[in-house]
Structure 1
Amino acid sequence: MAFYRAAGNIPPKRHTQHRRDDGELYYEELMGEEGFSSDSSLLYHRNIPSTVSASRVWDVPDQSTTPNHPLTPRHLKLHDLFDEAAVAATDVVTGRRLVLGNGDVRISYAVAARPSPWYRNAIGDECVYVERGAGRVETVFGAFDVSEGDYVIIPRATTHRWLPVDDPANPLRAYCIEANSHITPPKRYLSRFGQLLEHAPYCERDLRGPEGPLLAEDVGAAADEETEVYIKHRGHGPGGIVGTVHTLPFHPLDVVGWDGCLYPYVFDIRDFEPITGRVHQPPPVHQVFEGYNFVVCNFVPRKVDYHPLAIPVPYYHSNVDSDEIMFYVDGDYEARKGSGIGRGSISVHPGGHAHGPQPGATEGSIGVDYFDELAVMVDTFRPLELGEAGVAADDGVYALSWSRATGRPRGGAPGPGAAHSEG
């Protein structure tokens, strides 16, 4: 987004000599989107940023997917994916497990206690939602302290790492939305020059830029410390994704200053100002970000519909053009009562299937004036397929939840075996 920032030691004029105290030049790097035609920043390095002393293959975690076929809504229980032993051995980068994906966006989940390696995603921007726990994200632009409720937006090809806070009782839980494009505020929130407008549910004051610059010595490392950087990039692997590890003969934190309109930032979901009305508001009022062929929305605690005859929960709706993926983070989600969905659940409502409140939820919501709920929704405009974690986390019975008379499904359910064979 076009919101200018500057940090550290930069020259008065771009593309001009910028020298160290010993007379040596710093190395200027333009990090820009869409060639030279969109937002960019200039970074000033101690070392030549192209330098690589070795490279090897990184076997990226399983990116294969299987279709949601036959078409069915699903309930995925993400909190079942990582046991205590797995958490101790997991980091936010190499430990991600793919839940859902298509050619535009991939949704992964990790519960991590270990520091990640240095990493850059050369395919697209990342939006990582911190469900629980806390940590620090160190980048070549500077660092952030992050905690529960933070969205971390990391532009494509930004070198960074994740350092969870050591808290075995509350590990870092990361919901990772990886785009094949850029992730931005919705265009309708922005002026033609890129400023967030008055009707937007957040503004520039709510965005936390990186604290920096951050240099190797600031994190207790030597400037000439050999370092590996893990890179996710396009190739002929599953999902068109492969990985490479570059070895640098120096530490990646070598940027003495930068300026521009492209950089990572953090937005706390608690700073989202909900838009409400006399009758039920459609999902676009909850939108927070967008990428190519998908949007990100969040449902936060809010006053709900105040027409005297209002029905606060959603009406039944057919996803004509999109799959709807809801990640339930906190609170009491009125529309899903009786479905088995709780904290850490994902509901998959695919295009072609009409969905809405569970039986009894519509009548039960009448007269309610406040929803205490927190959820992150991704709507995609191409069908999503299940990753290995989506298959593993499927409860196998959610599709029958609208047919329940007493909390038990009528007839058989597509149990785990059937769910696996369907993808």
Structure 2
Amino acid sequence: MIDGGTARVSGSEHEGARKAAEEPAYLHGFGNEHSSQAVPGALPEGRNSPQRAPLGLYAEQLSGTAFTEPRAHNRRSWLYRIRPSAAHPAFTRVGNGGLRTAPFAETVPDPNRLRWNPLPQPPAGTDFLAGLWTLGGNGDATQRTGVAVHLYHATASMDRVFGNADGELLIVPEQGGLLLRTEFGLLRAEPGEVALIPRGVRFRVELTDTARDGGRGPAARGYVCENYGAPFRLPDLGPIGANGLANPRDFRAPVAAFEDVEGPVEVVSKYCGNLWRAEYDHSPLDVVAWHGNLVPYVYDLRRFNVIGSISYDHPDPSIFTVLTSPSDTPGLAGVDFVVFAPRWLVGEDTFRPPYFHRNVMSEYMGLIEGAYDAKAEGFVPGGGSLHNMMSAHGPDRETFDRASAAELRPQKVDDGLAFMFETRWPITLTEQAAAADHLQQGYDDVWRGLERHFRPLR
């Protein structure tokens, strides 16, 4: 059990306390049964729902999986809060802005290789929610299958609270840090880290000062994977053994911290693809204590323990899987989250960049920093590329020529950090992505000039 930090604010104290840059404390481990309390004695002992919860709190269970799913897959937490989540007025519809949800039917699935520059600058005062922009996705949120790919570009902290009933959100900052105030406590996610907010968990996103928008103030930019399917879990390691890839101890969950706010608070809920709002008379971030294994967390991608070949050939990119959302077919993921982290290349008589291939899976790739070793130019931080099911792709001509002639001495790849959302179904674009001004024209040209080298033996 952990006694966490207390964030009790009320009335006029709320604004200043909310904007203070607290340094979060963390619990460590993935899928653990954690316990945390911001006030000693807030957690009940020996039972989950006593007749009278300690300190006058309300006991409430948050279930991220069905009650009867196998224990190894079951996700739930008990929350002890100042008011139950049921204490709110009716929600009303609001506009969705740039946010879209599966099923995606605005365009037809596109077999072409596509690449985008970073999102353009948003208007001043754009918060994380208003700055979300959907590129595309697949499946059906109402059937809890599939995935959506979003990007965000924000210039202001949120004054409202957001929760997503449609899926969990994997947030990948590329520019500017985020302070996430969740029902469970505080998380800080900087570029090079990822944060995951489980389905239904309410949170607020505040910008930190690690990036500034041309001197005008904090700014943040990045990517979001909205996973409608089974919650992300660590992949099985198979022949790798007991250790490697993302180590469970490196995932950090928040300790309990809460807001005791009396006054109007706007709460926005994403439900079956649409945004709904209600004005609460209190902050829903009022959980004083909690225990369970359904928790938000943050993970530093640079801690990924890369596994690779020490003899020959380039292994399949599945060895770079950080998290996976399994489907009903073993080994076929609803979505995998893959990172191309710093690593050594030592293969003998091997073409070391990613090989040319066509894949039954669909791949959206983004770049957090530096350069990607399969593309010499055009693929920039904040941008992204989409190679849908069975579309042929691989290194560009310059990369191919350079790698084919390189001296094969040990090489450290540490000048870039890229990732991939890989999914079992084609990603269908939104109209706004298909017609975006920042969609690159002529992406196919990167493979132009790959010459014929065939020389039949005589």
Which bin holds the TM-score, normalised by the shorter protein? 0.7 to 0.9
SS in structure 2 of the partner of residue 188 of structure 1? coil
Matched, 1:29 2:60: yes
Q: Measure, in 2, the Cα distance between the counterparts of 1:326 and 1:163.
A: 26
Q: Measure, in 1, the Cα distance between the counterparts of 2:423 and 2:179.
A: 30
Match of 1:52 in 2: 88
How far did residue 247 of structure 1 move? 2.4
Moved more, 115-124 or 323-332: 323-332
Matched, 1:262 2:294: yes
Alignment of 1:3-152 (within 5 A): 3-8=32-37, 9-13=42-46, 14-21=48-55, 25-37=56-68, 38-62=74-98, 63=100, 66-67=106-107, 71-77=111-117, 79=118, 81-83=119-121, 86=122, 88-103=124-139, 104-116=146-158, 117-152=160-195
TM-superposition CA deviations, 1:202-235 (whole Å, max 9, x none)? 223211111323233xxxxx3x22222111011x
Q: Measure, in 2, the Cα distance between the counterparts of 1:125 and 1:40.
A: 14
Matched, 1:343 2:394: no
How far did residue 65 of structure 1 move? 5.5
Matched AA of 1:173? R
Q: Is 1:133–1:173's contact at 8 Å kept on the other side of the alignment?
A: yes
Match of 2:242 in 1: 198
How far did residue 36 of structure 1 move? 1.4
Q: Measure, in 2, the Cα distance between the counterparts of 1:283 and 1:258.
A: 37
How far did residue 198 of structure 1 move? 2.7
SS in structure 2 of the partner of residue 230 of structure 1? strand
TM-superposition CA deviations, 1:357-383 (whole Å, max 9, x none)? 111423412336222321010111111
Q: Is 1:43–1:257's contact at 8 Å kept on the other side of the alignment?
A: yes
Matched, 1:249 2:294: no
How far did residue 132 of structure 1 move? 1.5
Identity %: 24
Output the aligned Cα RMSD.
2.3
How far did residue 197 of structure 1 move? 7.0
Q: Is 2:368–2:381's contact at 8 Å kept on the other side of the alignment?
A: yes
Matched, 1:324 2:363: yes
**Cα 1:189/1:11, change in 2 over 3 Å:** farther
How far did residue 160 of structure 1 move? 0.4
**Cα 1:200/1:385, change in 2 over 3 Å:** same
Match of 1:334 in 2: 373
How far did residue 138 of structure 1 move? 0.2
SS in structure 2 of the partner of residue 181 of structure 1? coil
Matched, 1:276 2:308: yes
Q: Is 2:363–2:386's contact at 8 Å kept on the other side of the alignment?
A: yes
Q: Measure, in 2, the Cα distance between the counterparts of 1:133 and 1:389.
A: 25
Match of 1:378 in 2: 421
**Cα 1:231/1:137, change in 2 over 3 Å:** same
How far did residue 389 of structure 1 move? 4.5
Match of 1:411 in 2: none
Q: Measure, in 2, the Cα distance between the counterparts of 1:298 and 1:128.
A: 14
Matched AA of 1:36? F
Matched AA of 1:145? R
SS in structure 2 of the partner of residue 313 of structure 1? coil
TM-superposition CA deviations, 1:261-307 (whole Å, max 9, x none)? 11100001111111121331211011011225111100011101x23
Q: Which runs of 5+ in 2 are unaligned?
A: 1-29, 69-73, 140-145, 328-333, 452-458
Q: Is 1:65–1:388's contact at 8 Å kept on the other side of the alignment?
A: no
Q: Is 1:98–1:388's contact at 8 Å kept on the other side of the alignment?
A: no
TM-superposition CA deviations, 1:243-270 (whole Å, max 9, x none)? 2112222211221100011110000111
Matched AA of 1:356? G
SS in structure 1 of the partner of residue 302 of structure 2? helix
Matched AA of 1:39? R
Q: Measure, in 1, the Cα distance between the counterparts of 2:432 and 2:207.
A: 22
Q: Measure, in 2, the Cα distance between the counterparts of 1:70 and 1:225.
A: 48
Moved more, 270-279 or 360-369: 360-369
Match of 2:6 in 1: none
Q: Measure, in 1, the Cα distance between the counterparts of 2:123 and 2:179.
A: 17
Q: Is 2:116–2:439's contact at 8 Å kept on the other side of the alignment?
A: yes
**Cα 1:352/1:203, change in 2 over 3 Å:** closer
Match of 1:417 in 2: none
SS in structure 2 of the partner of residue 355 of structure 1? coil
Matched AA of 1:272? F
Match of 1:160 among 203, 213, 216: 203
How far did residue 133 of structure 1 move? 0.8
TM-superposition CA deviations, 1:338-393 (whole Å, max 9, x none)? 5x222222121121222111114234123362223210101111111122452213
Q: Which runs of 5+ in 1 are unaligned?
A: 191-195, 217-221, 235-240, 407-423
Match of 2:335 in 1: 294
Match of 1:397 among 442, 446, 449: 442
Q: Is 2:371–2:379's contact at 8 Å kept on the other side of the alignment?
A: no
Q: Is 2:134–2:148's contact at 8 Å kept on the other side of the alignment?
A: yes
Q: Is 2:183–2:287's contact at 8 Å kept on the other side of the alignment?
A: yes
TM-score by length of 2: 0.77
Q: Measure, in 1, the Cα distance between the counterparts of 2:450 and 2:88.
A: 63
TM-score by length of 1: 0.84
TM-superposition CA deviations, 1:53-91 (whole Å, max 9, x none)? 2421121124266446552101111x2x222xx252311
Match of 2:252 among 208, 212, 222: 208
Match of 1:183 in 2: 231
How far did residue 110 of structure 1 move? 1.3
Q: Is 1:60–1:232's contact at 8 Å kept on the other side of the alignment?
A: no
Q: Is 1:31–1:41's contact at 8 Å kept on the other side of the alignment?
A: yes
**Cα 1:185/1:197, change in 2 over 3 Å:** farther
Match of 1:415 in 2: none
Q: Is 1:124–1:180's contact at 8 Å kept on the other side of the alignment?
A: yes
Matched AA of 1:361? T
Q: Is 2:266–2:279's contact at 8 Å kept on the other side of the alignment?
A: yes
